Amino acid sequence: MKLELGKVESYIHEKLEKEKLHFVLLDPDDVSPEMAGKISEEAERIGVDAIMIGGSTGAEGEVLDEVVKAIKESSSLPTILFPGSHGAVSKYADAIFFMSLLNSTNPFFITGSQALGAFTVKRYGVEPIPMAYLIIEPGETVGWVGDAKPIPRHKPKIAAAYALAGQYLGMRLVYLEAGSGAPQPVPPEMIAIVKRVIDVPLIVGGGIRTGEQARKAVEAGADIVVTGTAIDKARSIEEAKKKLEELNRGVKLR
């Protein structure tokens, strides 16, 4: 049986042939639908490649739906759900990172929540993109909520072993996550070793606040850089726009 990649996953692969990608994460618990719409419009204009929607707490139901709808109305960027659990599926989104928190100590976050959400994803026709999700120290809220055993920052080989295991289990993306708002992003040395070992695209996020940090992640081997807090926390759309431009220049090595 030949595997047919969905629309969003094909878009990711096609774009990756030309450049590194920048995804912006919007947490419906932190941004209003109005602000989410405005940020997405600017993001598309600036050259961001996709909008991820999700968060560890409160990013469900109507709150989630309204944010996804506002993004769809204001931009044509792909919308990818980044769920905290099976409750975070919106029928308005294009795709979902169907992710397994491989270094959780709780099977609920490895396969349990996935089983509870699978029928909803099918019913809504949202494109699932299988992804290995790895929490790196400090892990922040998602590490705590997800019962993770965070991978020590100075142990890149552990991250590489988990990443390769994820690929061998059939996951088509690997995400190294320091946790939203982490004081330091994933160390470049860890990104480099993981990248050397795997063949699937590598996503890196958590604690990337400056163009320089984004650039370092890409230079180390990240294929896709995710930024959230730096933009979510902007006090005005002008401030968000400036930050988006800075981060995007870093990712695109401009």
CA distance 13 to 92: 23
Q: Which runs of consecutive H residues, i.e. helices, occur in the chain? A: 7-16, 33-46, 61-74, 107, 113-124, 140-145, 156-168, 188-197, 211-220, 229-232, 237-251
Residues 6+ apart with CB under 8 A from 123: none
User: By CB under 6 A, how many residues form the interface with ligand 1GP?
Assistant: 14
Print the binding letters for residues 15-54 with ligand 1GP: x by CB under 6 A, - otherwise: ----------x-----------------------------
The interface region with ligand 1GP, picked from 86-94, 163-171, 176-184, 211-219 by CB under 6 A, is 176-184
Rule CB under 6 A: is residue 207 a binding residue for ligand 1GP?
A: yes
Tokens for 55, please give them.
Answer: 């968060």
Side-chain half-sphere of 23: how many Cα atoms within 13 Å? 30
Is residue 132 a contact residue for ligand 1GP (CB under 6 A)?
Answer: no
Beta carbon of residue 184, minimum distance to ligand 1GP (angstroms, whole number): 10
Strand partners, 175: 133, 203
Shortest spacing between CB 207 and ligand 1GP, in angstroms? 5
Choose, by CB under 6 A, the member of 33, 37, 201, 206 that binds ligand 1GP: 206
Q: For residue 137, state whether it binds ligand 1GP (rule: CB under 6 A).
A: no
What tokens appear for 105 in the block?
């100590």
Residues at the contact surface with ligand 1GP, assessed by CB under 6 A: 25, 177, 180-182, 205-208, 226-230
